[in-house]
Amino acid sequence: MNFGIIAEYNPFHKGHFYHICKSKEITESENCVVVMSGNFVQRGDPAILNKHTRTKFALLNGASIVLELPVPFATGSADIFAYGAINLLNKTNIIDFLCFGGETDDIEIFEKISEILTNEPAEFQNLLKNELSKGISYPKARHNALSLYMCMTGQSVRDKDISFLKMPNNILAIEYMKALKNENSSIKPKIIKRNGDSFHQTEILSEKPSATAIRNSVEKLSLSKNSYEYNYIKENIKRVIPENIYDIFFKEIREYPKTENYLLILDYLLRIKTKEEISKVLDITEGLENRIFKYRDIKTINEFLNSVKTKRYTLTKIRHALLHIILDIKKTDVLSYKKTGLPYIRVLGFRKDKLSLLKELSKKASVPVITNIKAAEKTLSPSALFLLNKEKQASDLYYMTTTKKINTDYTNPIVIV
């Protein structure tokens, strides 16, 4: 039996280790296949550590194989992110369970809500249209419509059962359930209740903090002005990451790309692209291109985000949109693959003792399995080559604002531990 996990590991910490261990326990399986974001992640930022390092951390702490979620899906909204990851796992033809985290392990409420959102009854659609007409964001409108619909149909007291949908982990859990239904997947969902600090916690409070808290601590570490402060922050980080990754972790975070590093690139693109060209970019909807053009004389990316933000356009949506402008990811880049499915499976790394699992994947997968890019390029379809080139461009951009060499998708070999 094999189970899948969808993750970013941005960065890998003890909460992730717990998730892998708990998944092995409830599925009674030792084979863990991780679908992981590449060098850019779903919140609209470059990852704090590159994909090869994060792959190694996962393999050292319980993962059997790590597969790459292509960048248009890894950086997309929750539904796009979930579709790409589930489609990829389905195409492996070796996954029995999907194990994902949530704020509750009550799978019935996830089943109930995902059923409504998958089928979208007429009453729900009308409620959603009415909420959207108020000029609020789509996530908030959907939440309100869902709450009203469940109340009207006697499935809950208003907001009682679905207030937890405001939590990112639960939003993704619902999208995973929807994607499994839409794909008619035989993969069985298993929810593991998150064990640790709040997803939104910005400070390290326990040994199982939020990834946000760790990233904030890394930022403080880079800005620390004396050895006492530096050592205090470093020791606090060491409390929450596995001991077997200490040395690599602190070496790699000495230099990492930040969203602000792409200011000049974004400024240039907004000056040379027309409003029509911007409107074709993924996540540019409902006239967002107009506000982007209005405030395109930017001084900092944070200032730009706060200027463009409205009730309708959330910071998350704008971050996605800006990243997709930088990466040149268009709506059609996602829509075409949503019709045909992902055209390849790329292996970022595997454990030596799981070589038999890699062989099983290569044999049973319904699309080509890539372990060597140069070799794969000679045989891949045009559709697959287009997506793979997007990945290579994203990796080059990731390193462009650092002192490290680009072209890493060619120079960094598959990770084996």
pLDDT tens by residue, 93-139:
999 999 999 888 888 888 888 999 999 999 999 999 999 999 888 88
Choosing from 332, 353, 370, the residue where a domain stops is 332
Same-domain pairing of 1 and 57: yes
Tell me how far the alpha carbon of residue 397 is from its chain's centroid: 18
Same-domain pairing of 92 and 178: yes
pLDDT higher than 70, residue 160: no
Quick check: is 248 in a domain? no
Same-domain pairing of 69 and 3: yes
Same-domain pairing of 5 and 82: yes
91, 62 Cβ separation under 8 angstroms: no
Same-domain pairing of 84 and 144: no
Count of CB atoms situated within 10 Å of the CB of 392: 17
Task: State the pLDDT confidence band at 153, using cuts at 50, 70 and 90.
Answer: confident
Residue where the block lists tokens 């892998």 = 20
pLDDT higher than 80, residue 404: yes
Quick check: is 227 in a domain? no
User: What backbone phi and psi angles, to 5 degrees, belong to 273?
Assistant: -90, 145
Quick check: is 396 in a domain? yes
Average pLDDT over every residue of 214-221: 93
Quick check: is 208 in a domain? no
Same-domain pairing of 58 and 162: no
Rounded alpha-carbon distances, angstroms, from residue 86 to 95, 105, 192: 10, 20, 17
122, 212 Cβ separation under 8 angstroms: no
Average pLDDT over every residue of 390-415: 89
Same-domain pairing of 140 and 288: no
Instruction: Retrieve residue 368's tokens.
Output: 């080509």
Same-domain pairing of 87 and 188: yes
Per-position b or e across 52-79, b if 16+ CB within 10 A of its CB: bbbbbbbbbbbbbbbbbbbbbbbbbbbb
Same-domain pairing of 43 and 187: yes
More confident residue, 37 or 111: 37
List beta partners, residue 46: 40
Structural domain harbouring 87: 1-103+168-197+341-417
Average pLDDT over every residue of 147-164: 72
pLDDT in tens, 182-210: 999 999 999 998 876 666 677 887 777 88
pLDDT higher than 60, residue 157: no
Number of domains in the chain: 3
- Predicted local distance difference test score (pLDDT) of residue 197: 62
Same-domain pairing of 382 and 299: no
Quick check: is 1 in a domain? yes
Average pLDDT over every residue of 275-296: 94
Average pLDDT over every residue of 379-389: 94
Instruction: Retrieve residue 22's tokens.
Output: 């708990």
Choosing from 308, 332, 356, the residue where a domain stops is 332
List beta partners, residue 73: none
Average pLDDT over every residue of 152-174: 74
Report the chain's mean pLDDT, rounded to a whole number.
92
Quick check: is 273 in a domain? yes
More confident residue, 85 or 316: 85
Q: Where residue 37 sits, what CATH number does that domain have?
A: 3.40.50.620
List beta partners, residue 216: none
Worst-scoring range by mean pLDDT, 59-68, 75-84, 312-321? 312-321
Choosing from 332, 364, 391, the residue where a domain stops is 332
Same-domain pairing of 55 and 180: yes
Count of CB atoms situated within 10 Å of the CB of 244: 11
Tell me how far the alpha carbon of residue 13 is from its chain's centroid: 16
- DSSP letter string over 270-283? HHHS-HHHHHTBTT
Quick check: is 124 in a domain? yes
Count of helix runs (H) and strand runs (E) in the chain: 21, 8
Rounded alpha-carbon distances, angstroms, from residue 55 to 15, 163, 183, 416: 16, 34, 27, 9
Same-domain pairing of 1 and 33: yes
pLDDT in tens, 336-358: 898 899 999 999 999 999 999 99
Quick check: is 253 in a domain? no
Closest CA to 318 of 328, 329, 306: 306
